[in-house]
Structure 1
Amino acid sequence: MALQGEAQPSKELYPMSNWKYDVFLWCMSIIINLFFREVHPRGSWYVPRNGPVLFIAAPHANQFVDALILQRTLRNESQRRVSLLIAQKSVHGFIGWGSRQVGSVPVGRAQDSAKAAKGTIYLPDPVKTPYLIRGVGTNFVKEAEKDGMIFLPSVKGMSGSSVGIAEIVGPEEIRTKRPFKGRLPMQQLTGRDDVEADGKFTNKDIAGPKEGYPGTKFKLAPNIDQSQVYQAVFDRLKSGGCVGIFPEGGSHDRTELLPLKAGVAIMALGALEQDPNCGLTIVPVGMNYFHPHKFRSRAVIEFGSPFEVPSDLVTKYQNNQRRDAIAELLEMCTNSLNSVTVTAPDYDTLMAIQAARRLYMTGKKLPLTHVVELNRKLSKGFSKFKDNELVIDVLDSLKEYNKQLRYLNIKDHQVENAKRSIPKVVFLLLYRLAKLVVLSIGVIPGLVLFAPVFIVSKIISIRKAKTALAGSSVKIAGRDVMATWKLLVAMGFAPILYHFYTIVLAWTRAFGQAPDWLPWWVVVLCGWIIFPAITYAALRFGEIGMDIAKSLRPLVLCLSPTSSYNIQQLRQRRAELADRVTEVINELGPDMYDDFEKSRLIKDPTFPGGNTITPGSPTRDSEPGSPGEYPPLFPRRNRTAASRAIPRNESFSNIGAVGIFSTRPPSRSRSRSRSRSSSSGGGFGSGSFPISGFTTLDSKEGFDEASSRIREAMLERGQMRRRKSGIFDEEED
C-alpha cells in the first residue's frame, strides 16, 4: 500500500499488454503470410535494441496492413514492441478491437470531422488582406469555431488546401492564421485565371476577385484538442518505449511521398522538451511494395539509419520558435524517408525506372532487397537529371517499350524466350502444359472450396476502393484500401464458409462414406482439418501454376507466324535499350554518386547462379563491420588489362568474392529452392558470367588450370611486395 502523501503514478492512457500484443501479432502473421508471398526486412540492425524510438514509416500504401507488417517485422527482427498512431474514425469494430490489443494511440484528425458548410466564400482583396475571407450566405458565428479548420474542395485529384481559423469577425467574415497559397486555392477563392504557380497574380490592375464571381464551396472542422494524445506519446517515449507513425497522415496509392504532417515533429520535439536526456532516436522505415493490393505479392520493409534531433532545434522549440524547429525537423524526416523509399512523379515513370533496372542487369537475378536499392538509386538519378537530353530520350524509349509489352501482354523477362529455336519452344510449351495439368489436379478442389471467398472479397474491396476514392483528395484509384478489405472479408467469411462445409460433411456422414460407429464430432474435427488443408495445398500448387501459366503466352507468340516478327523486333529493341541504359548510367552515374566506381554489382557467393550484390553493402544476415560485409572494390584505373574486357555494369576486381570459385557448384534443386523462396534464383550461368575469359570449368583439367593461374598470380604478387619492402629478404638472411 502506498504511504500517505506519496505521489501516485499516473495511469497510462493507452496501455499495452505484452502477451496480448504477441498473441494478436502471431495470429495476424498467419494471415499476412497467406496474403503475401514474401515480406523481406532490410537494415533491421539499425533499430536500437533499447531506449525510446520514434519510427516514421512511408509511403502509407496499404492502410491497416502497413501497421501489421511493421509491428510484426519489428517484433521478429528487433524484439521491439511499438505503439502506432491510428485515426480516431477507424477505432471501431474489429479494427478498433485489434488496435487496443497492440496499444495503438487513437488520433482525431480535422479532415475526418470536416463537414460541408452553408454558402460560399471568396477573398475580397487577396493582395492586401489575404487573411480575410468573406462569405455569401454563410453563418460563421454558428458553424465555425476559433482554432478550427476551413477546407477548400479538391479538384481533379489535387488535394484541397486548408488553413486554421484565427478569428470569427461575423456571420460572413473570418480571419485565418495564414493565407492560402498556390494557384489552385487562389483560383478557387477569386475565380481569376491570371494566377501564377506560386499564387501571385499577373494582372496588377485588378485588386479583388473576378467580377460576378459567386465564390467556392467549403468545409469546416472544429478545433480538436490533441493534448492528451501528445502527452500519451511523450510518456511512452520518456519511459523508453517505441512509437510508430505514418507521417503522411493517411493511406494513398500515389507513387511519391505526400507532404509530412507536423505531428511527427511535435511528438519528437515535445518529448525532448519534457526530458532532454531521454535519448530519443528517429528511425525511418520504407514500406516498399510490389503490387500491394494483389494476392501473393511481395514487400520489402527497409529500416534506415537512425538519427537524433539536434539540440538547437529543441532549444528553438522551447524558445517560441516552434514553426522553424518543426519545419527543419520535417525536412530531416523527409530526407531520411527518401533514402529508404522508391518514389516517382507518376506511374509510367516508375514503370520506366523499373524497366531501366531490368535492362541494366540483363541476364542477372537480384535479391529482392537489392531490387529496391537499385530502383531507388535509379529513381534519384532520373530525378536529378530529368532535364538532361540523354535521360529524356531514354525515358521516352523505355515508356514506349513498356507500351509494346502491354500490347503483346507479356513481361520483360519473357521477351528472351523469343530467341529459342522452334523445337525447343515446342518441347518447352508441351512440358509446361503437362506440368500445368498435373498441378491443376491439386488446385481445382481448393479453388472450388475457396472461390466464394475470392469472389466476395474482390467485390467488396472494389466497392470500398471506390468509396475511399470518392472521399479522398489524394488517392488515384483507391487501391490502398483493397488489401485491408480483402483480408477483413476473408477473415470473417472463410470461417463461416468452412463451418458450413463441415456441417454438411457431418450431416451427410461424409456423404455416406463414414462408418456408423464413428462419432459425429470426429467427422466435424476431420472437416476442420481437411478443408483448410485442401485450400492451403491449392494455394501452394496454384502459386506455381500461375507462374507457369504466365509463361505460356510468349511461347505461343514465338510459334505464331503473325507475331514472331514483332517478338523478334522487340527482342532487338530490348538489346539496344539495354546498351543505351548502361551507357547513360555509366556516363551520369559518377556525377550522381561519388562512390559509383566502387559500388558496381558483383557476384554474391550467398546467392549462387548469377545473383548479385552491391559491394560494400552487408549481406542479408550480416551487420555493418561484420565478416559478412563485402569489402569495397578497387577503382577502375587500378585494374588489370584483362579486367577491362568485362562489361561496364559488372566488376570482378575482388576475385575472392566471386561464387564461381567455390569448391563445388550448387545443385539445381538448391538453386530452384532458393529462387522460389527468395525470388532471386536462377541456375548456373544465368548471370551471363564471361567464363571464356578464364577457362572452361566443366572438367577436372579446367579447374586445375584455373587454380594454377590463381596460384601463379598470388605468387607473383607476393614477390613484388617482397622486392618493394625488402622485409622478408632480411628475415631469410
Structure 2
Amino acid sequence: MAKGYTPKLIPWLYDFMLWLMSIMVDCFFREVHPRGSWRIPKRGAVLFVAAPHANQFVDPLILMRILRTEAKRRVSTVIAAKSMARKFVGTASGWFGAIPVGRALDLAKPGTGTIYLPRPSEDPLLLKGFGTNFEKQATKAGLIILPTINGQTATADVAEILGPEEIRLKKAFQGEDAIKQLTGLDKIPEESSYTLADGFKGTRFKTAPKVDQSKAFDAVFHSLDQGGCVCIFPEGGSHDRTELLPLKPGVAIMALGALAANPNSDLKIICCGMNYFHAHKFRSRAVVEFSAPIEVPPELVELYRSGERREATRQLLEIIYNGLLAVTITTPDYDSLMLIQAVRRLYKPKGKKLPLPTIVELNRRLAQGYKQYHDDPRIVNLRKNILKYNGQLWMLGVRDHQVEYANLSTPVVIFTLLYRLAKIAVLALGTLPGLILFAPIFIAAKVISIRKSREALAASTVKLQGRDVIATWKLLVALGMTPLVYTFDVCVLAYWNYRNHVQGFVPTWVPLWLLVIGGYTFFIMITFAALRIGETGMDILKSLRPLVLCLNPTQSNTFVKLRKTREHLSMEVTEVINTLGPSMFEDFELTRLVADPFRTGALQEPESPVDSPTHSRTNSYTLQKASTNGEDGDLDAPTAAHGQLPRNESFHDLSNLGIFASRPASRSRSRAASRNGTFASLNAMTTKENLEEVSKRIRGAMHERGIERSRRRSEGSWEFAEHGEASGKQSPVPGDSKKDA
C-alpha cells in the first residue's frame, strides 16, 4: 500500500455488495435496531469508534448497513491485514473500501528458551532468559508475550536488547498472574523486596516485531481529509468477553493526526455500541447505539503538534473510552451479566413489552448500579436469591417469562396444550420442505463454525470460548453453499422435467430457461417461508414444557412454588432499585424507564427520552405495537397480561414482515414530526445565550413537573384507592387529569 493510498470505494459496487450481505444478515438476526442514529452528521469527516467487537466480520456489515440506510453515508472500515489476506474476505473488503492495518500479535512466533525476572522488586524492567537468543528473536520496540492465563495475556514492549539472554523493557509487566509466571511464586509477598522461587527455570514466551503503521495512517488521514467516514474497532480484534478490552492507541492517533494535518476538517468522533443478545445464535437480536458527536479538544491537538504525542493520545483515548462506556453494557464477568438481565426481567411490570432500545438502556443502568453497590448487603442477598431462582429455572428447563403459566387452571392448560400441539403440526407442514432443502447448509454451517471457533480460541490471547467467530462462519458458509444447493436442486428439477415433465405437472410447452428461473424463485420462496414459519413454531415449541408442568396445579407443585418465589423476588428487586436508585441518579424519578409496578399509576408511561428527542411522543405507540417475540437472552419470550397466556403462537407477524427485513422501521428520523410544532419557534433564536436560557427553562420545568407528579403519586395513592373502593368505580390515575395536561 503506497503512501497516499486511497481506499478504492466504488459507490455502486459498495451499495450492491452491502445489499447482498444485508440479506444474509437479516436472515440471521431477528432484529437489528439502531438507536440514536439521528446524531450522525450528514456531511463532514467522521471517525466511528465501535465496541465491543463481539462478532468478527458481522459487526462492520451491520454498522455499514445502518450508516447507509439511516444517514446515507458510506464508510471505510479498518481491517486487520491478516483478514485482508484471505481470498474471499480480502476481495469483498476491498470492494467496501477497507483499510488494512497490521497487528503485532498476528505476527507472534514462539521463542526458544524461557524467560524470568531476576530482580522483580528492585528492577522489574530487566528480563533475562535461559537458552534464549534475543538478538535474533526479538526486535527493539517489539513485543514479549506471556502464555495466556484465565483468558488474559500479558505483553510488554522491548526498550533495549542487552544481549542474547538479557533485554530491558519499556514498561514492567502488569498483573499478579504475569509476576507469578516470571518469578515462579505461588503468591506475591506483601513485602517490597522479594526474589525468584527456588529452582524456577522461567516460563515460555512469544515475540512479535514492531509493525509499521504509517501507510495505514496515511490512508485514514486522506479519507478524513476528503470529508469521508472511517470506522475502527479499537480493541484490536474480536472477542466474546462481557467487558471492553483496553483500547489501542491507534484510534486516538488517527483523530489527532488528521486534525494536526488539517485543523479545518471539523472532524467528529462518534462512539458506536454494538449491543448483542446471544450474538452467536441464529435469529438473535442487536441494538447499535450511537453517541453524541465528540469534538477533539483543541488543546490536545496542540499538545500532539508540540511533540507530547503520548500524553495527548492518552487523554483522547480516555475520552473515547468513556464515550464507549456510555453506549455499551459492560460487566466484570458472565455471571454478573446474567444477574443483571435477571434483575431487569424481574423489575419489568407484568404485561409490559419493552422496546429493545429501552431494554439496553435499562441493562446499562442496572450494570452501573451493580458496579457501585455490589458490596451492599442488600445487593449481596439479592444476588444470592436470584442465582438460586435461576438455578431452579434451569433444573425445570423453563424460562422466566413462562413462570406465569403456573397461574392457570387445569382445563385452560389442557386446552392450550392441545391447541398449540395442533398449531405445531400445521406449522411443521409449512416448514418441512424448506428445512429439507436447506438442511445441508444448516449442518455444514454448524460443524464448520464450531471447528473455526475452536481454532480461533486456540490462537487467541483474549477469547473465552471463541463465540465471536461463530456467526461470521455461519454466514460465510451459507453465502458460499446457498447458490450451490439451489443450483443442484434446479438441476434435479430440470432432469425430472426431462424424464416425465415432473410427473406430468409441467406442460410440455414450458421452455427450459423458464423452468430454471421458476425453479430458483420457488426454492428461494419455500426456504424463506420455512424460516419465518419455523421461527413461530419454535416459539410455540418452547412453551410446551411449562404447560406440561402446569398439569399438576396443586400447591405442592414445584412450578407453582416457583411462581410465588418470583413474585417475592420481583418485590424485593423493586424495593432495592427504588431505595438505591435516587442516591445514584439525581433525576431518578424524572428519567424512569419503567414505571414502578407496585405503585398506583404504574401503567402510566414514563416521560423520559430514550431513543431520540421525540421519544416521549412515540414511546407509548412503540410499546403497544411492539412484537410479541420477547426481549433479551430470552428474546423469543412472549409477554403475559392480566392472567392470559402470551400470544407467542400468533401468526400476525408473518403478514407484517418485509421480504428481506427483520427489524422495525427506525424511529431515528422522528425529529421531523416536530419541525412544524412547538419547537419550530426555536429556529428564530440564533444567539447562543437565548438557546441556553430556553434550554435551562425547559429542564427546570420538566424537573419540577417530575417532582410534583412523584409527590402526588406517593401521597395520593392510598387516598385514590380508598375512594375507588367506596364509590365502586375505577380509581383515577394520579397525574392523568386535565389539570396535568
TM range (shorter): 0.7 to 0.9
Q: Does 1:460 align with 2:448?
A: yes
1:307 deviates by 1.1
Q: Does residue 179 of structure 1 match 2:166?
A: no
Structure 1 residue 441 displacement after superposition: 1.1
| 1:475-516 superposed Cα distances (whole Å, 9 cap, x missing partner) | 111111000000000111121111111111101115333333
Summarize the alignment of residues 103-142 of structure 1 with structure 2, pairs less than 5 Å apart. 103-142=97-136
For the 8 Å contact 1:194–1:203, the answer to whether it is kept is no
* Cα offsets for 1:271-317 (capped at 9, x unmatched): 12212222111111110111111111111111111211112222222
Q: Distance in 2 between matches of 1:478 and 1:602?
A: 35
The alpha carbon displacement at 1:90 in A equals 0.5
Instruction: Name the counterpart of 1:51.
Output: 44
Q: CA deviation at 1:473?
A: 2.0
Deviations 1:121-171 (A, max 9, x none): 1112223332221111111122222222111111232x2211222222221
| Alpha-carbon distance in 2 for matches of 1:66, 1:717 | 45
Q: 2:502 aligns with which of 507, 511, 533?
A: 511
Whichever residue aligns with residue 485 of structure 1, its letter is W
Partner of 2:627: none
Q: Does 1:76 align with 2:81?
A: no
Partner of 2:475: 487
Q: 1:167 aligned to 2:166? A: no
Q: Decide whether the 8 Å contact of 1:694 with 1:706 is kept in 2.
A: no
Q: Identify the residue that residue 535 of structure 1 maps to in structure 2.
A: 527
- Partners of 1:600 and 1:693 lie apart in 2 by 29
How much identity, in percent, do the aligned residues show? 51
Residues 61 and 253 of structure 1 are in contact (CA less than 8 Å); yes or no, is this contact kept in structure 2?
A: yes
Match of 1:582 in 2: 574
Letter matched to residue 328 of structure 2: T
In the TM superposition, what is the alpha-carbon distance from 1:210 to its structure 2 partner?
2.2
Structure 1 residue matching 2:538: 3-state secondary structure: helix
Within 2, Cα distance between the matches of 1:255 and 1:694?
A: 53
Residue 557 of structure 1 corresponds to which residue in structure 2? Answer: 549
Match of 2:35 among 42, 65, 74: 42
Task: Give 5+ residue unaligned stretches, structure 2.
Answer: 596-601, 616-666, 680-697
User: Does residue 153 in structure 1 map to residue 224 in structure 2?
Assistant: no
Deviation at 1:613, TM superposition (A): 5.5
Map 1:339-378 to 2 at 5 A: 339-363=326-350, 364-378=352-366
CA offsets per residue over residues 650-671 of structure 1, 9 Å max, x none? Answer: xx9xxxxxxxxxxxxxxxxxxx
Report the alpha carbon displacement of residue 104 of structure 1 after superposing the two structures with TM.
0.7
Q: Distance in 2 between matches of 1:548 and 1:691?
A: 43
Go from structure 1 to structure 2 and tell me whether the alpha carbon gap of 1:475 and 1:450 turns closer, same or farther (over 3 Å shift): same
Mapped contact 1:309–1:329 kept (Cα < 8 A): yes
Q: What TM-score do you get using the length of structure 2 for normalisation?
A: 0.82
Matched, 1:26 2:19: yes
Secondary structure of the corresponding residue to residue 336 of structure 1: helix
1:335 paired to 2:326: no
**3-state SS in 1 of match to 2:65:** helix
Answer whether contact 2:273 2:289 (CA < 8 A) is retained: yes
Tell me the residue number matched to 1:414. Answer: 402
Is the CA contact (8 Å cut-off) linking 2:4 and 2:218 kept in structure 1? no
Inter-partner Cα distance in structure 1 for 2:541 and 2:724: 35
Q: 1:591 aligns with which of 578, 583, 589?
A: 583
Alignment of 1:275-354 (within 5 A): 275-354=262-341
1:82/1:241 contact within 8 Å kept: yes
How many angstroms apart in 2 are the aligned matches of 1:717 and 1:579?
Answer: 29
Q: Please, which of 544, 552, 555 is the counterpart of residue 536 of structure 2?
A: 544
| Aligned equivalents of 2:559, 2:355: Cα separation in 1 | 28
Give SS of 2:417's match. helix
1:46 positional shift:
1.1
Q: What is the CA–CA distance in structure 2 between the aligned matches of 1:255 and 1:611, rounded to whole Å?
A: 34
Does the alignment pair 1:393 with 2:381? Answer: yes
Letter of the 2:182 counterpart = L
- CA change 1:573–1:457 in 2 (3 A) is same
**CA deviation digits over 1:385-428, x for unaligned, max 9?**
11111111112211211111111111111110110111111111
Q: Does 1:268 align with 2:255?
A: yes
The residue number in structure 1 matching 2:631 is none
Amino acid at match of 1:487: L
Q: Which residue of 2 aligns with 1:255?
A: 242
Gaps of 5+ in 1: 1-8, 196-200, 604-608, 653-688, 719-733
Instruction: Give the greater-gyration-radius structure (CA).
Output: 1
Deviation, 1:202, is 2.7
Rounded to whole Å, the distance in 2 between the matches of 1:490 and 1:308 is 41
| Residue matched to 1:600 | 592
Q: Give 2:41's aligned amino acid.
A: P
Which deviations, in whole Å up to 9, do the C-alpha atoms of 1:75-102 show, x marking residues without a partner? 1111111111111110122111111011
> Secondary structure in 1 aligned to 2:168?
strand
**Within 1, Cα distance between the matches of 2:231 and 2:723?**
49
Aligned to 1:63, the other structure's residue is in SS state coil
- My pick for the range that moved more, 275-284 or 38-47, is 275-284
Q: Cα RMSD (Å) of the superposition?
A: 3.0
When residues 415 and 646 of structure 1 are mapped into structure 2, their CA distance, relative to the original with a 3 A threshold, is farther
**Is 2:2 the partner of 1:14?**
no
Match 2:512 to one of 514, 517, 520: 520
In the alignment, the residues of structure 2 paired with residue 205 and residue 313 of structure 1 have an alpha-carbon distance, to the nearest angstrom, of 39
Deviation of 1:632 after TM superposition, in Å, equals 4.3
Contact 1:370–1:613 (8 Å) recurs in 2? no
Could you tell me whether the CA contact under 8 Å between 1:365 and 1:610 is conserved in 2?
no
Deviation track 1:306-339 (CA, whole Å, cap 9, x = no partner) reads 2111122222222232222222212111111111
Distance 2:521 2:470 in 1: 29
User: Equivalent residue for 2:429?
Assistant: 441
Contact 1:615 1:632 survives alignment (8 Å): no
Whether the aligned pair in 2 keeps the contact of 1:469 and 1:475 (CA below 8 Å) is yes
Which one-letter code corresponds to 1:77 in the other structure? E
Cα distance in structure 1, aligned partners of 2:78 and 2:101: 7
Shift of 1:518: 2.5
- The range that moved more, 28-37 or 169-178, is 169-178
Match of 2:609 among 607, 616, 629: 616
1:102 aligns with 2:96: yes
Which is further off, 481-490 or 304-313? 304-313
Q: Counterpart of 2:263 in 1: which secondary structure?
A: coil
> Which whole-Å CA distance do the structure 2 matches of 1:462 and 1:637 have between them?
56
The structure-2 alpha-carbon separation of the partners of 1:67 and 1:616, relative to structure 1 and needing over 3 Å to count, comes to closer
- What is the CA distance between 1:176 and its match in structure 2? 1.8
1: CA distance between counterparts of 2:320 and 2:427? Answer: 48
Contact 1:66 1:287 in 2 (8 A): yes
The TM-score with structure 1 as length reference comes to 0.83
What residue identity is the alignment partner of 2:402?
Q
What amino acid maps onto 2:316 in structure 1? L
Q: What is the identity, as a one-letter code, of the residue corresponding to 1:525?
A: I
Change (3 A) 1:717 1:422: closer
TM-superposed deviation, 1:521: 2.6
3-state SS, counterpart of residue 269 of structure 2: strand
Q: Aligned AA for 2:608?
A: P
**Match of residue 644 from structure 2:** none
Are residues 706 and 86 of structure 1, via their aligned partners in 2, closer, same or farther at CA, if it must alter by over 3 Å?
A: same
